[in-house]
């Protein structure tokens, strides 16, 4: 029998790469060979922070393919990157598989596992007669909005370019998070060309969902029961990080600063506010200063991640005398080992952009949230946190669109003075943790998926544990 050898391919963004590496690690631990494919730029970013502990010997092979852009072109230009990838990468992926599988030996690629945002990679696998699986790294509620595109068009809610035809709130199902038209994934951009590009990706995701043997999701039935019930072909296998909460996470674009863990060790239990906004969020100087002062006014210890490029200025402009005033009460780092930080007993809450990875990391550590979404699926995730799970609060903006220092101070006090938020967060943590342990729904589905990869069962939908 041919040994299983899978290609794993994420979309080139931090929030996609990390969970796909977690999936690849699960496969490798079960003896599956993985060829992990990044774009050249992402590959360089990851390997610059790659430590020996992240390696998996002969079973994990990291390779890269060009994204079609010139070295000096901006990968943050999602429109340009999307069209370039669609134009150039299907043929290079096909060539990579073809070259590997034409070589003598028992090492043929047997399956393509592609990010749900890379529908073209699923099509390449199907064209070459190789089994395929799609992996969704974000919330299933977000995926549901993409899978509903044909219905949204038929119902006259959006046109064929994805543009909303009214400002009517979109409700995919009675108990699903409501979606404002401007918060549809492809609508979270300011220029029409990028909206068109992301809508094309979303349509490819919908098409790919009908072409794959499996569509697995980094979520749990306990977190999104209505979404999984609406689309029973989507199978929960997550949160993948929950089974390895204190492990060393691989795939970061920036070097993690472990010295903050020593600082956390010196803080009282449940005292520290952790503030981190992921890899995309941008602040102007006014909002940045309001946040800085709001944290100062809270009079509580805080750990704040200010990544390179987070502000529009080259160097973040802190208020005059800020560092002297906050002293050792505030710790600011470029990038943090977030899983270890969130698991630390000194943490009291998480001020977050609410990307799905960060949401899952907060959930699996039983932390209440203060929600500060920036774009994309983050607004839907906030609805889960504030309205459905009731484990956090959102911020209100003033007339100028700014979250003020007083609002920040007030919401910190409101969240931390009400024990209900932490109690609900701990309850959800317990449910999600049980799902990824032996006998849990997500654990059972992941086990069946790996059995299928290894050829131990032939039916992709062999008794999935769904509800």
Residue 359 has pLDDT above 90, yes or no: yes
Residues in the chain: 467
- The span from the CA of 335 to the CA of 47, in Å, is 16
Torsion sign (Cα): 128, 134, 135, 138:
positive
Beta strands across the sheet bearing 347-352: 330-333, 302-305, 272-276, 347-352, 369-371, 392-394
Beta strands across the sheet bearing 5-9: 60-65, 33-39, 5-9, 111-115, 131-136, 214-217, 234-236
pLDDT band at 385 (very low <50, low <70, confident <90, very high): very high
The answer to whether the beta carbons of residues 214 and 460 sit under 8 Å apart is: yes
Residue 53 has pLDDT above 50, yes or no: no
pLDDT band at 246 (very low <50, low <70, confident <90, very high): very low
Task: Write the DSSP symbol of residue 283.
Answer: B
Mean of per-residue pLDDT scores for the chain? 89
Give per-residue pLDDT as tens, 168-215: 999 998 878 889 898 898 998 888 999 999 999 999 999 989 999 999
Tell me which residue of 101, 100, 111, 141 sits closest to 212, measured CA to CA: 111
The answer to whether the beta carbons of residues 214 and 235 sit under 8 Å apart is: yes
The answer to whether the beta carbons of residues 286 and 381 sit under 8 Å apart is: no
- The span from the CA of 182 to the CA of 193, in Å, is 16
Residue 388 has pLDDT above 50, yes or no: yes
In a 13 Å sphere around the CA of 264, the CA atoms on its Cβ side amount to: 25
Q: Which domains does the chain have, with CATH numbers?
A: 5-246+433-453 (3.40.50.2000), 259-431 (3.40.50.2000)
pLDDT band at 463 (very low <50, low <70, confident <90, very high): low
The answer to whether the beta carbons of residues 347 and 156 sit under 8 Å apart is: no
Higher per-residue confidence, 273 vs 173 = 273
Residue 74 has pLDDT above 60, yes or no: yes
- The span from the CA of 119 to the CA of 132, in Å, is 11
Tell me which residue of 352, 377, 12, 358 sits closest to 187, measured CA to CA: 377
Find the helix packing angle between 140-147 and 192-208, rounded to 10°: 90
- The span from the CA of 305 to the CA of 257, in Å, is 10
Give the lowest-confidence range in 56-65, 87-96, 229-238. Answer: 56-65
**Residue 144 token pair:** 């549901």
Residue 402 has pLDDT above 60, yes or no: yes
Q: What is the pLDDT of residue 95?
A: 95
pLDDT band at 11 (very low <50, low <70, confident <90, very high): very high
């Amino acid at each position: 029998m041919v040994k299983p050898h899978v290609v794993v391919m994420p979309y080139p963004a931090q929030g996609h790469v990390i969970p796909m590496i977690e999936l690849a690690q699960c496969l490798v631990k079960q003896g599956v060979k993985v060829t992990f494919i990044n774009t050249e730029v992402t590959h360089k970013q990851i390997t610059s922070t790659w430590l020996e502990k992240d390696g998996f010997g002969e079973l994990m092979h990291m390779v890269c393919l060009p994204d079609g852009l010139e070295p000096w072109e901006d990968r943050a230009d999602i429109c340009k990157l999307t069209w370039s990838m669609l134009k150039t990468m299907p043929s290079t992926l096909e060539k990579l598989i073809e070259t590997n599988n034409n070589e003598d030996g028992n090492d043929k690629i047997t399956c393509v596992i592609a990010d749900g945002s890379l529908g073209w990679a699923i099509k390449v696998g199907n064209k070459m007669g190789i089994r395929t699986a799609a992996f969704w790294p974000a919330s299933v509620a977000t995926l549901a909005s993409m899978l509903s595109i044909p219905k949204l068009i038929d119902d006259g809610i959006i046109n064929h370019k994805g543009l909303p035809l009214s400002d009517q709130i979109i409700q995919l199902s009675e108990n699903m998070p409501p979606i404002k038209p401007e918060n549809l994934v492809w609508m979270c951009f300011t220029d029409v060309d990028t909206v068109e590009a992301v809508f094309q990706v979303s349509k490819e995701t919908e098409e790919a969902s009908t072409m794959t043997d499996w569509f697995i999701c980094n979520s749990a039935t306990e977190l999104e029961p209505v979404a999984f019930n609406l689309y029973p072909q989507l199978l929960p296998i997550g949160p993948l990080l929950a089974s390895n909460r204190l492990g060393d996470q691989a795939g970061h674009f920036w070097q993690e600063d472990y010295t903050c863990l020593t600082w956390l060790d010196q803080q009282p239990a449940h005292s520290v506010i952790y503030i981190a906004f992921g890899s995309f969020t941008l602040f102007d100087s006014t909002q940045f200063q309001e946040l800085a002062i709001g944290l100062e006014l809270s009079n509580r210890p805080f750990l704040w991640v200010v990544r390179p490029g987070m502000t529009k200025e080259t160097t973040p402009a802190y208020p005059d005398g800020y560092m002297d005033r906050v002293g050792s009460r505030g710790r600011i780092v470029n990038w943090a080992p977030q899983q270890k930080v969130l698991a630390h007993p000194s943490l009291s809450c998480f001020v977050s952009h609410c990307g799905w990875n960060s949401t899952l990391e907060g959930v699996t550590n039983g932390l209440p949230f203060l929600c500060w979404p920036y774009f994309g699926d983050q607004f839907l995730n906030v609805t889960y946190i504030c309205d459905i799970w009731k484990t956090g609060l959102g911020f209100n903006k003033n007339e100028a669109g700014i979250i003020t220092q007083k609002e920040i101070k007030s919401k910190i006090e409101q969240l931390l003075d009400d024990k209900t938020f932490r109690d609900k967060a701990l309850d959800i943590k317990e449910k999600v943790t049980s799902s990824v342990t032996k006998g849990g729904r997500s654990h059972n589905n992941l086990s069946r998926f790996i059995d299928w990869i290894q050829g131990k069962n032939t039916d992709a939908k062999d008794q999935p544990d769904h509800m």
